[in-house]
Structure 1
C-alpha cells in the first residue's frame, strides 16, 4: 500500500487449473508459458470483489483475518473497465465465437472471465492491464516463474481501508501514517464479529 500499487497477475499464476485452459468443441487446450510471457504486460489482471465482508475471503486472502482490504470507488475511471466473472456449471466452448472476436486478446479474456460456479461467493470482477494506464514495476518472479507486476493506481480511487478481525494495532498505526503522509483522509474500518450471525461487521476507527 505504501507505493499505491496493486498486483496484476498472469493466468498461469492462479491456483485453479481451469483458469488457464480453454475448450474448443470436444478438445481442451492449455495456455503455454511462452504465450503467457508474450502477453503478460497486456493480459495480466487484478481480481476485485463486490463483497468486502465474506468471511471465507478474509480467511483465504487476508492472512486469516490479520490483513486488510482496500475499497475502491467503482466509479473511478481507473476501474471503469473492470469486467464481471461469469460463473458456470458447464464450460463454454469457443466454437460459437464470431470471427470478428476471435483474436488473441478476446480469446484470453474469454478464458480469464469464466470460472466454476463454486467460486461464485467471491463476486469477482477483473481489471485487465491492457485497459489501464501502465506504470509497471516488475519486482521479480513468483513460484510459477511468472513476473510479479505492480501497477500504480490513483490515490483518488481509494475509498476506504478495512482492517481484519485479527489485524494488529501496529498494522493500523502503519496504515494511518501512510495516509497522513499522503495527506489523505480515507476512512478506516475495523472488522468485528456479528452478535447474531456468522459474519463480520465494520466499525469506523478514529
Structure 2
C-alpha cells in the first residue's frame, strides 16, 4: 500500500487543473471561490478553438463517483475521473482544463480574451481601486462591473 500511495502522489504532482464556470452570477460560487463576495470574477471570451481555453472540458455531475485506480487504469483514464463531481455541485456548471505531464503551472492567454472583470459586492474600496487601475492600464479595455448588493447583503 505505501508504494501505491507514493506512486499516486508522484502522478498527481504532474497534474494541473484549471476550473471555470458558465455562470458568473451564481451566489454560491461567489461565497465559495471569491472570499464571500469580496473578490473578483474574470469573464473570458472563448470557443473550442481558442488557445488555452479551448481545451476546457465540461464536468459531469453524478450520484456515483468513478473509481480512481492508478494500478489498474491508464493515466488518461485516471485523469478522466477528475471531470466528475457529485450531483449536488451541479449548480457550478463547471468546466476544467486538465493538463498531465505538460503545461501546468502559470498559464498565459491573450489579454484581449478577457471580456470583463466583475467585482464582488463586498470588495473593499482599496481592492476595487487597484483592479480598476490595473484595467485602465491595459491596451485592451475589458468592462469593469460591480455586483449590486441586495438588502442586508454585506
Q: Give the TM interval when normalised to the shorter protein.
A: 0.7 to 0.9
Q: Deviations over 1:74-97 (max 9, x none)?
A: 223321110011101123468xxx
Given that 2:62 and 2:84 are in contact with CA atoms closer than 8 Å, whether structure 1 keeps it comes out as yes
174 and 37 in structure 1: CA distance in 2 versus 1, 3 angstrom threshold: farther
Question: Structure 2 residue aligned with 1:180, among 132, 136, 153?
Answer: 136
186 and 46 in structure 1: CA distance in 2 versus 1, 3 angstrom threshold: same
Q: Distance in 2 between matches of 1:32 and 1:169?
A: 46
Q: Distance in 2 between matches of 1:161 and 1:74?
A: 15
Point out 4+ residue stretches in structure 1 off by more than 4 angstroms: none
Q: Distance in 2 between matches of 1:123 and 1:178?
A: 29
1:83 matched residue in structure 2:
57
Q: Deviations over 1:5-48 (max 9, x none)?
A: xxxxxxxxxxxxxxxxxxxxxxxxxx83543434534x311011
1:107 pairs with 2:81: no
188 and 91 in structure 1: CA distance in 2 versus 1, 3 angstrom threshold: same
Structure ranking higher in strand proportion: 1
Alignment of structure 1 residues 147-158 onto 2, 5 Å: 149-158=105-114
TM normalised by structure 1 equals 0.61
Cα RMSD of the aligned pairs, angstroms, is: 2.9
1:37 pairs with 2:4: no
TM normalised by structure 2 equals 0.79
Unaligned residue ranges in structure 2 (runs of 5+): none
Q: Distance in 2 between matches of 1:61 and 1:178?
A: 21
Q: Deviations over 1:136-184 (max 9, x none)?
A: 6xxxxxxxxxxxx332232122111000011122222211222233323
2:26 matched residue in structure 1:
54
Q: Distance in 2 between matches of 1:60 and 1:153?
A: 25
Unaligned residue ranges in structure 1 (runs of 5+): 1-30, 95-101, 137-148, 200-206
38 and 88 in structure 1: CA distance in 2 versus 1, 3 angstrom threshold: closer
Question: Structure 1 residue aligned with 2:118, among 162, 172, 175?
Answer: 162
Question: Structure 2 residue aligned with 1:120, among 70, 90, 94?
Answer: 90
